[in-house]
Amino acid sequence: MSDANTYTPPKVWKWDQENGGKFANINRPIAGATHDKELPKGDHPLQLYSLATPNGVKVTILLEELLAKGHKGAEYDAWLINIGDGNQFGSGFVGVNPNSKIPALMDYSTEKPTRIFESGAILLYLAEKFGEFLPENPADRAELLSWLFWQVGSAPYLGGGFGHFYAYAPVKIEYCIDRFAMEVKRQLDVLDRRLADNQYLCGDEYTIADMAVWPWYGALVQNKVYEAAEFLQTHTYQNVVRWTEEIAARDAVKRGRIVNRAFGPLNEQLHERHDASDFELRTQDKLEAAE
Ligand SMILES: N[C@@H](CCC(=O)N[C@@H](CS)C(=O)NCC(=O)O)C(=O)O
């Protein structure tokens, strides 16, 4: 790789497979499957293929919230897709998500099985299916859609932009870190101003917009992604901190955030979820103690 100050782009871009970046082994300039692999399927109507990154956690939080409200049809099997090992490029996964990214969902309760990918689309699909966490009145619904689409449009600046250059890139490039730190601080300020007069993003009601935004911006504030809380002075966004803590205290959120988690403390790792009892019986600390 050339030095940041001396690089001149060639006429035609070429794929440097050894660029030294943290995800160099899985990043590719082409789509499609790299190998044949069927996806596992359990007994529940909903089959989720995911990993507990912020995008994955959005969906498991919603599913746990739906179950907490008594929606038995929201029972799900959550299967681990290890993106570091390239599981997202298996033929079965690509069949559910041609974009090869977690999360991806199959709904077998519909006349013909329904596939759905993109975390925002999955949230909206499930909220509509169960009639929960989504206001009915058109004005409130418009507000919700605005925040939901804000999240899917904004988080790549936080993850792919700031997080990548601050935490993962093999070289620290001041220009890139400055550019994305500024944007992420602006986004935190957008949230902070909104949450100054509103308990939740859409007002008094906790909705899928909160479930979409919390795993990213809440994790940043809690210093759980990129170790950047001090660098970005996230504690100064006091309304975001208040909202983050309130959501973190919900039981469904505590459950949802550990489903398909294969990193961090062992008692917070539930690699697969097939039953409500798994939270008590099948976290990694319990499984490893029983070996
Ligand atoms: N816009 C997508 C983004 C999903 C996404 O970026 N997933 C990441 C993990 S957070 C992934 O699967 N990366 C694997 C890869 O890029 O190969 C969504 O919201 O669902």
CA atoms within 13 A on the CB side of 102: 28
Q: Which of 5-9, 66-70, 79-83, 178-182 has the lowest mean pLDDT?
A: 5-9
102 Cα to the center of ligand 1, angstroms? 5
Most confident of 12-16, 20-24, 185-189: 185-189
pTM: 0.96
Looking at the fold, whether 114 and 170 belong to one and the same domain comes out as: no
Residue type, 210: D
Place of tokens 């309130």: 246
3 has pLDDT over 70: no
Pocket test for ligand 1, best of 80, 101, 148 (most atoms within 8 A of CB): 101
Cα(267) to ligand 1 centroid in Å equals: 25
Q: Are residues 82 and 150 in the same domain?
A: no
Number of domains in the chain: 3
Residue 102 CB less than 6 A away from ligand 1: yes
50 C-alpha vs ligand 1 centroid, how far in Å?
A: 10
Both tokens assigned to 118: 């993109």
53 CA: nearest ligand 1 atom? 10
Quote the CA–CA distance of 206 and 172 in Å, as a whole number: 38
For residue 101, the CA-to-ligand 1 centroid distance in Å is: 4
Residue-number span of the structural domain to which 206 is assigned:
138-255
Of 17-26, 60-69, 169-178, minimum mean pLDDT range: 17-26
Does 58 score more than 70 pLDDT? yes
Structure tokens at 285: 């600390």
* Final residue belonging to a domain, choices 69, 97, 130: 130
